[in-house]
Structure 1
Amino acid sequence: MTDAPNTPAPQNESADTDEAMKAKRKKMLVIVALVIIVAAVIYALWAFIFSGSVNTDNAYVGAETAEITSMVSGQVAEVKVSNTQQVKKGDLLAVIDNRDARIALAQAQAELAKAQRQYTQSSANSNSLTSQVLVSSDDINSAKAQVAQAQVEVERAQAELARRIQLGASGAISKEELATSQSAFNTTKANLEVAKAGLAQAESKRKAAESNLAANDALIKGANQASTPDVLVAQAKVDQAKLDLQRTEIRAPLNGVVAQRSVQVGQRVAPGSMLMSVVPVSDVYVDANFKESQLEKVRVGQKATLTSDLYGKSVEYHGTVVGFSGGTGAAFALIPAQNATGNWIKVVQRLPVRIQLDPKELAEHPLRVGLSMDATIDLTSK
């Protein structure tokens, strides 16, 4: 006779399964909670450590490059430098044939000497014209005396003629004597007219001398040999000729490295011709192109730390934010984006931020224009 089956067994198995499921759910909840806690801790650490700075590797070295151009025309006689050569301010870079400039200077100096002599001559003419005015005054006085004497002679001849006429009416004198007296009277009248004409001529000469003196004085009045207009114009031409002669020697305007040298000996250059460039490697800066979403807290004066691909992470540069560009790179592109037409896709823009580097660090580890940099700005600095 067989025993009946134990019916409570299925219930025990179901209870064990429920307990296992509950333990599994509890374990999953614990894992999820741990993941959330770890994520929160990581985010907190990131916010605490990294939210105080912004970083970009879209940064490049730049400099205010000096473009060397010719200020005069002529043939290049010498070129003293080559590309990559270090130069200092005032170093001779190139020489233009100066023979034409020397001739122009000699001509300008001759014109200056001529103008100075003309001033000296004008001064002497003033003295001469003053003497002529004085002489003319003496001539006028002499002419007046001659007129007065001629007038007396006329009056005397006139009285003699009247007396002769009375005597001739009574027959006391001959007609010949009367005619002689009449002729003498006419002669004295003519002499009076001649004397008056002489007086008028003397007065005209004095007026002419006075006019010439006034005109000559107008040229030199209130001036000396160095300040008269003609001398000043001639002196300006001499100064210009000296400057043109000086400009035949082209010198470096600053310390730097020669680049883009295109001039050759024998080449004829015109004013404004590009000869070469001088890059001031000791005074370079970095233009860091940050995303517009990174610039909310960036301010002028904040400190920055930079590294260069040239030296690697072992060499750090320290700099200061000195300014922001007036527009994004897209705004100044050769062909700006036409966002108002066609299908539009938003692209995060980048704004160049200029960072000035420490000159001492640049002297220890020189950089060149165009090198890539990695820039980090400390937003907590002021």
Structure 2
Amino acid sequence: MTKITHVVEHDVYTTTEEESPAEEVARKGKRKRLFLALGASVVVLGGLYFAYDAIFASRYVSTDNAYVGADVAQVTPLVAGPVVEVTVQDTQAVKRGDVLVRLDDTDARLALAEAEAALQAAERRVRGIVATDSGLASQVAARGAERAQAAARLASRKADLDKARIDLERREALAASGSVSGEELTSARNAFNIASANLRSAEAEQALAAANQSAAASQQRANSALIEHSTVDTNPEVAAARARRDRAKVDLERTVIRAAVDGVVTRRQVQVGQRAQPGTVLMMIVPTQQAYVDANFKEVQLAKVRPGQPVTLHSDLYGSDVEYHGKVVGFSGGTGAAFAVVPAQNATGNWIKVVQRLPVRVALDPKELAQHPLRVGLSMNVTVDVSE
């Protein structure tokens, strides 16, 4: 039975209409069909979810928290000097070996000329030492001959002394009998004294000759030590001078600063007239052909991610029409929070658990990069196939 309320000119009255059995059965059948449709929809949606999870979601992990990166090359001078020329501008593409900056090379050229002169002087000194060594060897031989000569004189003086001794002893024996005059005895004694003096002189000469020979030999050994086991080219003094010359030559070459990699110039901070100092960053070169992607996956997504798995990427720059392919290279050593300046935990003990993200390095296909270049910092959408 159904109650119907009517309103007529501010008067309200209620009438009651009875529902027929056929209408009640139709109404209940309609409600039942609605509940059955709702249940079927829930079952279908659940089945679709489980099918999606089994077929797709369990095979792939995705994130849009990913950005293009590259190993940026900083251009820094290795020698000091005023800048006389800057040949590149920001956004300019360069090749490895291209000239970027020229420094004033006046000081470097003078240093090279000085080093060249020092090398030549060292070579001449060594050649002089080699020549002196031959002369010292001749002196040692001459001192040896003098020593031999002194030894011969010493032997002669010994023989003279022996003869004078014998003559003196013979005359002294005959002097007692009067057979030898006093004058003759005196002459024999004088001869003996002279022979003794000559012997002592010969001994002194021999000692001097031996000392001269030893001194000459020592001088030769000292001179030979400077050139022993070496030639003019391999002599340590010449090698040191050559190294200083080579260093001066390298410093001269370094006054021309060249690109170390292929890439795009960015953040140029050098101007003509500026004095460049070693270690000062003049500009940066971004090697766009060696770009990679760091994808920051949630820690709950990484259970099945392994190095070498294929990756599909899309850039916000080109949209979904351009697809990049790559592979997982490896994982970062820590999450972003682990290396943050302000840690998640503080001294008061307050702490809120937050799902962490771990950077995953993805290498890109160089051919695709050449067709559609990327720049450092661009956003990427990354999907990793974890089924392999």
The TM-score, its normalising length taken from structure 1, stands at 0.88
- 1:64 Cα deviation after fit: 0.7
Match in the other structure for 2:197: 190
- 1:159 Cα deviation after fit: 3.5
Question: Could you tell which deviates more after superposition, 174-183 or 212-221?
Answer: 174-183
Match in the other structure for 2:150: 143
- 1:220 Cα deviation after fit: 2.2
Q: How does 1:17-36 map to 2 (within 5 A)?
A: 19-20=25-26, 22-36=28-42
Give aligned pairs, total. 371
Question: Could you tell which deviates more after superposition, 223-232 or 280-289?
Answer: 223-232
Q: Identify which of 316, 319, 322 aligns with 1:315.
A: 322
Amino acid at match of 1:28: L
- 1:68 Cα deviation after fit: 1.1
Whole-Å separation in 1 of the counterparts to 2:56 and 2:196:
128
Match in the other structure for 2:372: 365
- 1:231 Cα deviation after fit: 2.2
Q: Identify which of 42, 47, 50 aligns with 2:48.
A: 42
What secondary structure, in the 3-state scheme, does the structure 1 residue paired with 2:359 have? strand
Match in the other structure for 2:84: 77
What secondary structure, in the 3-state scheme, does the structure 1 residue paired with 2:285 have? strand
- 1:175 Cα deviation after fit: 4.6
- 1:26 Cα deviation after fit: 1.6
Whole-Å separation in 1 of the counterparts to 2:349 and 2:21:
67
- 1:172 Cα deviation after fit: 6.1
Question: Could you tell which deviates more after superposition, 362-371 or 294-303?
Answer: 294-303
Question: Could you tell which deviates more after superposition, 29-38 or 241-250?
Answer: 29-38
Whole-Å separation in 2 of the counterparts to 1:339 and 1:312:
41
Superposed CA offset, 1:313-359 (max 9, x none) = 22221221211111111112222221674443322221111211111
What secondary structure, in the 3-state scheme, does the structure 2 residue paired with 1:263 have? coil
Superposed CA offset, 1:43-99 (max 9, x none) = 245323444322222111110111111111222222221211111011111122222
Whole-Å separation in 1 of the counterparts to 2:37 and 2:181:
174
Match in the other structure for 2:226: 219
Residue 152 (1) aligns with residue 159 (2)? yes
Residue 67 (1) aligns with residue 67 (2)? no
Question: Could you tell which deviates more after superposition, 216-225 or 366-375?
Answer: 216-225
Return 5+ residue gaps in structure 2 as ranges: 1-15
Question: Could you tell which deviates more after superposition, 197-206 or 96-105?
Answer: 96-105
2:61/2:301 contact within 8 Å kept: yes
2:314/2:324 contact within 8 Å kept: yes
What secondary structure, in the 3-state scheme, does the structure 1 residue paired with 2:383 have? strand
Match in the other structure for 1:231: 238
Match in the other structure for 1:127: 134
What secondary structure, in the 3-state scheme, does the structure 2 residue paired with 1:331 have? helix
Whole-Å separation in 1 of the counterparts to 2:331 and 2:219:
70
Superposed CA offset, 1:105-140 (max 9, x none) = 223233322332232222222222221222122112
What secondary structure, in the 3-state scheme, does the structure 1 residue paired with 2:337 have? coil
Question: Could you tell which deviates more after superposition, 150-159 or 83-92?
Answer: 150-159
CA distance 1:330–1:184, shift in 2 (3 Å): same
Whole-Å separation in 1 of the counterparts to 2:267 and 2:21:
88
- 1:198 Cα deviation after fit: 0.8
2:344/2:351 contact within 8 Å kept: no
Question: Could you tell which deviates more after superposition, 251-260 or 163-172?
Answer: 163-172
2:73/2:260 contact within 8 Å kept: yes
Amino acid at match of 2:73: A
Superposed CA offset, 1:262-313 (max 9, x none) = 1222222222111111100111111111222222222222222222222222
Amino acid at match of 1:36: V
Whole-Å separation in 2 of the counterparts to 1:374 and 1:170:
141
What secondary structure, in the 3-state scheme, does the structure 2 residue paired with 1:274 have? coil
Whole-Å separation in 1 of the counterparts to 2:208 and 2:324:
95
Q: How does 1:189-338 map to 2 (within 5 A)?
A: 189-338=196-345
What secondary structure, in the 3-state scheme, does the structure 2 residue paired with 1:39 have? helix
Match in the other structure for 1:7: none
What secondary structure, in the 3-state scheme, does the structure 2 residue paired with 1:273 have? coil
CA distance 1:173–1:50, shift in 2 (3 Å): closer
2:335/2:359 contact within 8 Å kept: yes
Amino acid at match of 2:306: R
Match in the other structure for 1:379: 386
Amino acid at match of 1:309: D
Question: Could you tell which deviates more after superposition, 283-292 or 39-48?
Answer: 39-48
2:310/2:326 contact within 8 Å kept: yes
- 1:153 Cα deviation after fit: 2.4
**How large is the RMSD of aligned CA atoms in angstroms?**
2.5
Match in the other structure for 1:115: 122
Question: Could you tell which deviates more after superposition, 203-212 or 101-110?
Answer: 101-110
